[in-house]
Amino acid sequence: MGEPYRVMTVCTGNICRSPMAEVVLRDRFGSAGLADRVVVDSTGVSDEEEGNPIDRRGRTVLAAHGYVVDGAHRARQVRSADVAGRDLVLAMTSQHARALRRLAGSDESGPGTSDAGRIRMYRSFDPSAPGVGAEGDERALDIADPWYGGAADFEECLAEVEAAADGVVAFVREAIGAGASDRSRS
């Protein structure tokens, strides 16, 4: 078996949205029998939360929905080498996507994708998400930062993350050529 397929989720401080998406995607890749073929991690565009664990409200909501959240997560800032070293980079907002494109050295801004499809809006994988607006405006796909809110905001964030997760898994399965027989290996 070759190198694993590498997926990175990215938000602002790497304590709410992106680590929640990381946990959900790890769970979904595990359920799909792809845990040994796909590596998922997360980062933030800012260094303001560097070293901090996932927000306690995010941990609480994830645990309430049956996700296993270990205490190993520590927030870190994304670097250009991180973007270059991933097969799929999933931005939580259009602002994050722009920052990632700058790090990748690409100003390409197509509807929901860039850098040959490696940098994508996370919600672009949600079949019920709103479409990209006029002239490629990706803001309709933004996942709002729950940090400023309460439990309901973290629930909404998780719902949006979960709604796109199966689409991410299907995309990666196709990219690595994993067929239905791989699903039974879990």
Question: Rounded CA gap, 178 and 43, in Å?
Answer: 27
Question: Rounded CA gap, 141 and 138, in Å?
Answer: 6
**Catalytic: 17?**
yes
**Catalytic: 11?**
yes
Which residue out of 11, 76, 86, 115 is catalytically annotated?
A: 11
**Beta carbons of 61 and 28 less than 8 angstroms apart:** no
Which residue out of 6, 87, 98, 145 is catalytically annotated?
A: 145
Question: 13: closest CA among 95, 88, 69, 110?
Answer: 95
Q: Supply the DSSP symbol for 107.
A: -
Question: 23: closest CA among 77, 64, 79?
Answer: 64
Residue type, 123: R
**Beta carbons of 116 and 87 less than 8 angstroms apart:** no
Q: Which residues are catalytic?
A: 11, 17, 145
